Amino acid sequence: MKIAKKLGYTLLKAAVLYFIFSFANFTMAQSILLALLVVVLYESINSHEVKLEARFVPYALLIQPNWVNILVDFKLAKDLAAVQKMFQKIKKDTTSPQPLLEDFYYNVIQNTMTGHQLIYDTVTKRFSSTISYYGKLDPIEIKRNEDERTVFRNEEYSVYFTVNQTNKNSGGIVIKLGVPERWYNENKSNLPKVIDAQNDPTTGYYDLEIAHIPFSEFMVYWANVDYPGDLEKVIDTMRKQYGWTQKERGEYDSYDGVTLLSKYFKVIHNPL
């Protein structure tokens, strides 16, 4: 179908050129020859047009949790004073990063159109092929009921915090809290609305998706790529869908990037 369509356009161009040359008092043979020469020359130049390859621009990504809002809203701390006491209990451990003390900072150094990446994680100080973090929110603990205690599981429940890339729901970066199933069922009516809540029967935990940074946010780091539709409109729509607002760049801001805000997170990304 595409070949027939292209051939039709070529013949139409040749016909138009033939009539132009005919009106210019060229003979029929000359008009046909000149029309064919012009069409062949045009198609040759067009087929050898230099097309720029898609080029990835490395970028930095910073994710800053607002732990006071997160812990208080999700009933993991009573108030600001309780959160401050948690911070005082935590001792910095270089071998085991504490999520409550960390900003999550990633350098996305390489990327391909097929999704292969090279990322430097400044929290774990390691290179990886994806953004991924899993850690306990010490010293937060949720007490077990007596009927939940066994010889093998007598310790209190922990609460987990995860940051992961995903291909689901338009792709992007998903941030979750992991809480015990029993505790979630008892408290869910008093918890804020989450993007998604999934039960894992093998662990007895619920994964609560509390933030989603859509993949469209990072499309701006690809040069020479023709996206279908209006990319800015797509980015704006996805931000609204997941509750992000963009902070306007201040006069004295030193970075050339984007700042996104929600109640629970501040996200900054900018080219390296």
pLDDT tens string 195-251: 999 998 888 899 999 999 998 898 888 877 777 678 888 899 999 999 999 987 655
Q: How far apart are CA 143 and CA 21, in angstroms?
A: 91
Q: Are residues 36 and 131 in the same domain?
A: no
Looking at the structure, tell me whether residues 129 and 180 fall in a common domain. yes
Query: Which pLDDT value is given to residue 14?
Result: 67
What is the number of structural domains in the chain?
Answer: 2
Instruction: Tell me what pLDDT residue 242 has.
Output: 94
Q: Which tokens sit at 91? A: 């001792």
Last residue of a domain, one of 192, 216, 240: 216
Residue 189 is predicted with a pLDDT of: 93
| pLDDT for 163 | 92
Same domain, 99 and 178: yes
Same domain, 59 and 131: yes
Per-residue confidence (pLDDT) for residue 8, from 0 to 100? 65
The whole model's pTM is what? 0.75
Q: Is 128 in the same domain as 181? A: yes
Residue 60 structural domain: 55-216
Sheet holding 117-121, edge to edge: 126-128, 117-121, 104-111, 59-65, 265-271, 258-261, 245-247
Q: Are 100 and 138 a contacting pair, CB within 8 Å? A: yes
Residues of the chain whose pLDDT is less than 70? 1-12, 14, 16-19, 21, 24, 26, 34-35, 38, 44-52, 91-97, 113-115, 147-154, 168-170, 228, 249-256
Q: Are residues 90 and 7 in the same domain?
A: no
Q: Are strands 117-121 and 104-111 parallel, antiparallel or unpaired?
A: antiparallel
Is residue 93 domain-shared with residue 128, that is, in the same domain?
yes
Task: Examine the domain organization and report whether 65 and 183 are in the same domain.
Answer: yes
